[in-house]
Amino acid sequence: MSTELEFTGARRTRTIVAASAGNFAEWYDWGVYGVVATIIAAKFFPGDNAAVALLNTYAVFALGYIARPVGGILFGWIGDRFGRRRALSISILFTCFGTALMGVLPTYAQIGLLAPVLLLVCRLAQSMGAGGEYASAISFVFEHSPITRRARNVSALVATTFIGILCGSLLARLCSSLLTEDQYNTFGWRILFLVGLPLALLGVYLRSKVEESPEFEMLAAARAKAKTAATPLRDALRLHWGKIVVFIVATASYALLSTTITSYLTTFLIKVGNLSSNEAYNATIVSNVLVIVGSLVMGPVADRLGLRRALSLMGLVVAIAAVPSLALASAGGVGAVTGSAIIGACKGLLALPALLAISQIFPTAVRVTAGALAYNIAQAVFGGTGPIIGVWLNDVTGGPYGLGVYLAVLGLVTAIVALLARNTFDHDEPSAAAPAAVVSEGGAR
């Protein structure tokens, strides 16, 4: 099979739409939690201390990240053993049903401490699904793509992730505009979560209509011919642990930057920038638009520069822009919108090479498992703790600079590690090598 896979016209559209539909649904759900974090704090935790309640809300957020590596291992194993399409169809149900259930949970005032416990259970289900979704979806599009257009095709998928998050902000803005503040705080926020149910059904339907990736079909055929059982988790840890570690360190800045916008920026603008909820939603919307633009712009750039150079360059951009952008965002007014836009553009530009690496640096036989495990550990360690560290740093420093410096340091680490780790980020396994790799690994066992 040629490495220049046919991926044009209707097939290209169908594949990207199917992968993107689930991504949109899962990341819409993911983003909504951050948008309504202040309401969740009031509804599900004791109201004696607003700051403590908000910290508890983000503690649940952080604990949810513990489930992401578990979901990555589970759905990675399914994706590498039974196919990317099957993993995608199951993972979306976990996230979307977990989110929809949040919309019907009783509050602390109604059932006491059981309310935050149930919130955590829903959050864990949501996180497990999200943990398996991204690596599966990116691998699905990556393996359907010719080598010369992989970054551009993956950028279309990545952009739909951020469109989903943007739609969460837009719907929150719409609900808060159409409803009174009392109505929004009473039942309007629940609508945002309940939208997850129809999105799940649509995603499953679209994903049932597309073909399995050509690389996985080759992989399955080679395994059958060699009579080799798939052991993707064992192989990932035994043969590719070094790449997993490099990925985690190199993408730490993206993990933090991802949650800074997705789940903390709205709260940051309200608590630090003293914006109203509607003003904060508007600034967040602008930021998310720039995320989408940045990720699409970076697609052809990454195809031209290569993964290693693109990741190193964007890490440096984040290191330079982190402190000024958050300082502007905390200033209110035009500064809030400008700072939010800058940090949104940084996230979009860094997202493409960071997420492309999930598939590009790992071989076909363990691609989803190793990619999901590496990505979700980075997200759990640096992303899941981002909002709570942000609240703590800004409280300690009395301003936005603590979080900004933290992000700048991680951006510099990304730039340096990507530049030096030539053997990891310059690696690209040709599609035609998949069968040989399977036989080789099978013999090694």
Q: pTM of the predicted model, to two decimals? A: 0.80
For the structural domain made of 9-444, what CATH number should be given?
A: 1.20.1250.20
> In this structure, is the dihedral angle defined by the CA atoms of residues 418, 419, 424 and 426, taken in order, positive or negative?
positive
Predicted pLDDT of residue 315: 96
Of 101, 124, 91, nearest in space to 25 by CA: 91
What is the per-residue pLDDT across 213-258, written as a single tens digit (0 to 9) for each? 888 888 888 888 888 888 888 999 999 999 999 999 999 999 998 8
Residues 6+ apart with CB under 8 A from 253: 315, 318, 319, 350, 382, 407, 410, 411, 413, 414
Q: What is the mean pLDDT of residues 27-36?
A: 73
Predicted pLDDT of residue 229: 81
Question: Is the separation of the CB atoms in 329 and 283 below 8 Å?
Answer: yes
Beta strands in 354-416 (DSSP E): none
Residue 330 and residue 342: Cα distance in Å, rounded?
A: 13
pLDDT bin (cut points 50, 70, 90) of residue 389 is confident
Query: What integer best gives the mean pLDDT of the chain?
Result: 82
Using the structure block, give the residue that is written with the tokens 């440096």.
Answer: 316
Of 383, 309, 388, 397, nearest in space to 347 by CA: 383
Of 242, 249, 294, 254, nearest in space to 416 by CA: 249
Residue 345 clears pLDDT 70, i.e. is over it: yes
